[in-house]
Amino acid sequence: MFAAAVYRLPLRRSRLLRISLLSVLGFYINACSTLAPTTGASTSDSDTQVEPLRVALVLGGGGAKGFAHVGVIKALEANGIKPTLVVGTSVGSLIGSLYASGYTPAELERLALTTTDSQLTDFTLSNQGFIEGIKLKNFINNKVGKQAIEDFPIAFAAVAAEKNSLKKSVFTTGDAGLAVQASCSVPNIFIAPRIPEKVGKKYVDGGVVSLVPVDSARDLGADIVIAVDVTAAQSRTNSTSSNLSPINKLSTISTLSDFWGLLETNIMATTASGSRSSSMRLERDRADIIITPDVGHISAIDSSQRSTLIKAGTQATTPQINAIKQLIQEKSKQKYATL
């Protein structure tokens, strides 16, 4: 009896162990089949994933005339066209950063009409320039809620140029205010900021090398580029101020009324040289859609006409809405044809 009882106990344990091992083995077989590459429809879906169509809005430099950019944005959004990338030079980077950070067209317009020049300018006496640029940097950072560029709801890039080499630089991450400050730092007017601050290279206005930065948008993956050039219809450009020293320019500021005109007249003088001007025009022409607001008759230094400039931007955009929509539709079909 005792011997029999002693025999049955290991047998029962053996059966239990066998059952347990089979259960564990079944679990691992099931797990492995779950982790193995899937076949059929699911593999096909992953293979045919396509990035969303990337529509870039490129906003060029142009001083006070850059307020027309606000009207362009108003017209685009009113017709259901919202870019996924905004690239700006000079005043285009200023307005573009605010838009990309989340401002609605109505909020942008309100800000454009109510912001005073004194909120953006901090005059100083220096042989490097007479606008320090700190006010502009702080203004942007406050308005975008201190968001870094990479945290904007819409992808954004500010175009500047290295001061010494005049090599184009495109800022897509980091301090938004500092990037805009660099992009707007017209040589001999603004003191060129360093990026990183205090230890980095000095940067000047992107309009020196890329007034309407279409190529930068392409480099960032844009499928469609809508470019806005507010300098195309110039009636005349006063370039005399470009020959003045920073101190002499400062003494003429009351005549010029604000710094917007300085942004335009000096950039126009800087880019007026034959080969550079031709190169910039060719870059602009590589856009899919070019919007040129009729602002040539409006004084470059008269920011009191902001409403007129905004309206001009809207009027120049509206006739192009159908062409933009058709282009988006065609590009979408091409991109998703393999799905």
pLDDT (tens digit per residue) in 286-336:
999 999 999 988 865 666 789 999 999 999 999 999 999 999 999 999 887
Query: For position 328, what pLDDT does the model report?
Result: 97
pLDDT in tens, 208-220: 999 999 999 999 9
Nearest of 328, 326, 311, 303 to residue 114 by alpha carbon: 303
Report, as residue numbers or ranges, the catalytic residues: 90, 205
User: CA-to-CA distance for 206 and 54, rounded, in angstroms?
Assistant: 23
Residue 44 has pLDDT above 90, yes or no: no
Q: What are the two backbone dihedrals, phi and then psi, of residue 57, each rounded to the nearest 5 degrees?
A: -110, 120
Residue with the larger pLDDT of the pair 22 and 273: 273
The residue-averaged pLDDT of 38-48 equals: 43
User: CA-to-CA distance for 207 and 295, rounded, in angstroms?
Assistant: 18
The percent of residues in the chain predicted with pLDDT above 90, rounded, is 61
Helix (H) or strand (E) holding 269: helix 259-271
Confidence band for 171, pLDDT divided at 50, 70 and 90: very high
Residue with the larger pLDDT of the pair 101 and 188: 101
Query: For position 233, what pLDDT does the model report?
Result: 62
Confidence band for 207, pLDDT divided at 50, 70 and 90: very high
The percent of residues in the chain predicted with pLDDT above 70, rounded, is 70
Query: For position 260, what pLDDT does the model report?
Result: 64
